[in-house]
Amino acid sequence: MPTLPNTIHCVLWNNLPGQNEIQSKDASTGNMTGNTDLNATSDAVGSTTVAALLSWAETRLGQISAAKKSYNDAVAADEANGTSDALANWMAYDSNYS
């Protein structure tokens, strides 16, 4: 995962003009301090870019989806076989969980 400064509350990117921004906060209080508009995927977010964050998010989504499928397959196998091998939650199937 790309590292972001603790002054960033949230990064919003949805490809709509005027709707993309970095929401900032005061790290000591957690209170919002303002927003910074983002205009392109090459814009900086801390020491990374919007594009790098989007790439990481897509990879992470794939990992989570694969872990959920693996867990659901294990639950189905348990139901079919009368076993209880999938009692742990789905995170146990995903070594990249964070």
Domain boundaries, the chain: 8-82
Residue 87 neighbours by CB under 8 Å, 6+ apart: none
pLDDT tens, residue order, the chain (98 aa): 788 999 999 999 997 777 899 999 999 999 999 999 999 999 999 999 999 999 999 999 998 888 888 888 888 988 999 887 776 655 555 566 55
For residue 32, what is the enclosing H or E element?
Answer: strand 32-37
- For the chain, how are helix, strand and coil distributed in percent, rounded to 5? 35, 20, 45
Instruction: Please state the pTM of the whole predicted model.
Output: 0.74
pLDDT at 72: 85
